[in-house]
Chains A and B, each alone.
Chain A
Amino acid sequence: MMSQNSKKHTEACRFCWMCRHLCPVGLTTGREVNTPRAKALLLSMVDRGEKFDKDIAQAMYECVLCGSCTNDCVTGFDPTIFIREARTMAAVEDLLPKAVEEIITNISNTGNIYGVQKPKYTGTAAKAEVLLYIGEVAACKQPTLVTAIMSLLKKADIPFTVLEEEPASATFLGDLIGFVEEVRIQAKDCANAINTSGAKTVVVLDSYEATTMKQRYPEWNCTINADVVTATSFIAGLIEEGKLVPKKITGEVTYHDDSRLARDLDEHEPVRNIIKAMGLNLQEMFLNRRMAKCCGSELLKAYAPELAALTAEGRWEDVNRTTADTLVVVSPQVMNVMGAKVPSAKQIKDLYVLLDQAC
């Protein structure tokens, strides 16, 4: 049962070949089914009586929802619309891949994709104008990143609070089963928790979650009564205001624009300004900003680690063709996905950690 809107997109994309060269999954697997046109074709065949089976459901999960195809489309079609809806269909028809089902179980048991108790962090105050939303990936997998950004906020004399029980942002559940009421309820709980804190600014560490809060929450009537800003633009702002003054460090780095920050939020320059402020020499990859090739996501890594390894290798190939020996990242997801596949001649560093050392 696809919506009319989805059908418009599948009917358009099913016979269009134009964006396949951008699919980070298709480029590494080389499989025809890992192209937007194939997914649209399959769903259009389902609409014409073909059985929606576990193979087709599986195909819908071989996608990072990175929006590279959408960004390329001259005529405004958006494969992520029907891919998300097809994931809802997979859940409805009981055809979820087993690994995906396990992640959903983790989310319902613990609120995060890892199925673990989320570590607790505390801010400088119980109540403050700034609330740092850490998110599950950073909280569970990148404690050094969290420490670094908290240290930076302290150095800039920004009192901040952290939610004692930080609810899930609904980002991952929304990517797993599409935009259904279960997802909206999770979002609503998160928005309520943020609103109860009384904060005026929410600094969101993970760009995926910032995208959901900024773009989906209003659509779902889960209003956050505060400014939602990405950590990168907030920190870049602190540098601009002179609240953080980094010492110059030398080195040649390259930077990977993660898909939601670069494409969905269209935010490219704050990170580059931070890099510039530190005196680092930035060597751009050939495909950067809105054109950046996605390296995979933590969610993909959770249910399809072999695929996330391939997408990460795909992006490392681009890094390898620059002269930089270091890849700097600002996303806990990129750190985890790319960090798992670092080639021997290269290193990966968290920009906040570098900045914290320089301030």
Chain B
Amino acid sequence: MNIIVCIKLVPSVMNLTMDQEYVMQRDRVVQVINPADEAALEAALRLKGNGSVTVITMGKPSGDDELRSLLARGVDRAVLITDKAFAGADTYATARTLSVAVNSLGNNLEDFDLILCGRRAIDGETGQVPPELAILLKLPFVTNITKINFNQGKIVCSRRLEEGIEELELGTPAILSLCEYSYPLRLATILGLQKARRMQIITLSREMLGLKKEECGLKGSPTRVRRITGQPQGIRNVTIAKNIDEGIARLSELIAEVPL
């Protein structure tokens, strides 16, 4: 099976550090693979059989290291779409760029059986890119997947709903978006790391994809972020602790109130 996995590098919440005043130290933020995308990747590696897994990501050139670590885990091909022109892309411009990249990778779409994505990224949290990509590529699409099997030419998958799990069957090619943590991503093997050293990361620019400037990045984005606001304090009738000690004291009071 030949599978494309679209991934995004996001700021790691594991590595967030606070200064003495408990303020996040932004300069220390490390980029990691979005958790739901990790699941998509692991699912792909398990499904590929004699086929291949191609990873595509759009981002800064510094994503090189992380892509190489994916090659070491069994990914056959890593594609980095990078260009200054892509900066500031909204979900639509991102999906358009990805769809053009997908088309450019094979002679036609039949070369791929499946495109897997994470269902949403932990930074933007829109969950819009996978469905947009499906529409642009005119492929069937299922969200919130927790399990995928491939059986006699058919994809059998489980989709998480608010109340239960739905079993679905569909043909290929298709796009599926996976729930985070449904497939914990394997680590790199020593052999894989050795192999990855010699592998090339494919870099695609705007020109190589044949995209016009107004089709990508901020210029190609129909939406604009006007404002980001925090949840106003007090809306849930909460008290913000002045410091950590006060918070801990309050927390122990609350715990004490819970009947055993």
Which A residues contact B (CB, under 8 angstroms)? 1-5, 8, 75-76, 88, 91-92, 177, 179-184, 220-221
Contact = CB atoms under 8 A, between A and B. Distances in A.
17 contacts: A1-B68, A1-B193, A4-B31, A5-B30, A5-B32, A76-B17, A88-B190, A92-B194, A177-B190, A179-B187, A180-B188, A180-B193, A181-B186, A181-B187, A181-B192, A182-B189, A220-B184
Given A4-B30, A92-B193, A220 B187 contact: yes
B189 A181 contact: yes
Contacts, number: 55
A150 B196 CA distance: 48
B52 interface: no
Nearest to A76: B17
A92 B189 CA distance: 9
Given A1-B68, A2-B65, A184 B197 contact: no
Interface centre among A88, A181, A183 (most CB of B within 10 A): A181
B193 A88 contact: yes
A208 B115 CA distance: 42
**Closest 10 A/B residue pairs (Cβ):** A221-B184, A181-B187, A181-B189, A92-B193, A5-B30, A4-B30, A76-B17, A91-B190, A184-B187, A92-B194
B23 to A, nearest CB: 13
Interface string B231-256: 00000000000000000000000000
A182 B190 contact: yes
Interface in B48-67: 62, 65-66
B57 to A, nearest CB: 14
Contacts of A75: 17, 19
B12 A5 contact: yes
Nearest to A177: B190
A15 B241 CA distance: 37
Nearest to A11: B28
Given A4-B66, A181-B192, 16 more contacts: A1-B65, A1-B196, A4-B62, A5-B15, A8-B15, A75-B17, A76-B17, A88-B190, A92-B190, A92-B197, A177-B190, A180-B188, A180-B190, A181-B189, A182-B190, A221-B184
A184 B68 CA distance: 19
A57 B197 CA distance: 18
Contacts of A3: 30, 65-66, 69
B179 to A, nearest CB: 15
Contacts of B73: 181
Nearest to A221: B184
B30 A180 contact: no
Contact of A180 (B28, B66, B189, B197): B189
Contacts of A91: 190
B5 to A, nearest CB: 18
Contacts of A179: 187
A68 B60 CA distance: 36
Interface string B98-119: 0000000000000000000000
A232 to B, nearest CB: 26
Interface centre among A2, A91, A92, A184 (most CB of B within 10 A): A92
A5 B186 CA distance: 18
B187 A180 contact: yes
Nearest to A92: B193
A4 B65 contact: yes
Nearest to B69: A3
Contacts of A1: 65, 68-69, 193, 196-197
B97 to A, nearest CB: 23
A259 B196 CA distance: 35
A72 B245 CA distance: 22
Contacts of B194: 92
A184 to B, nearest CB: 5
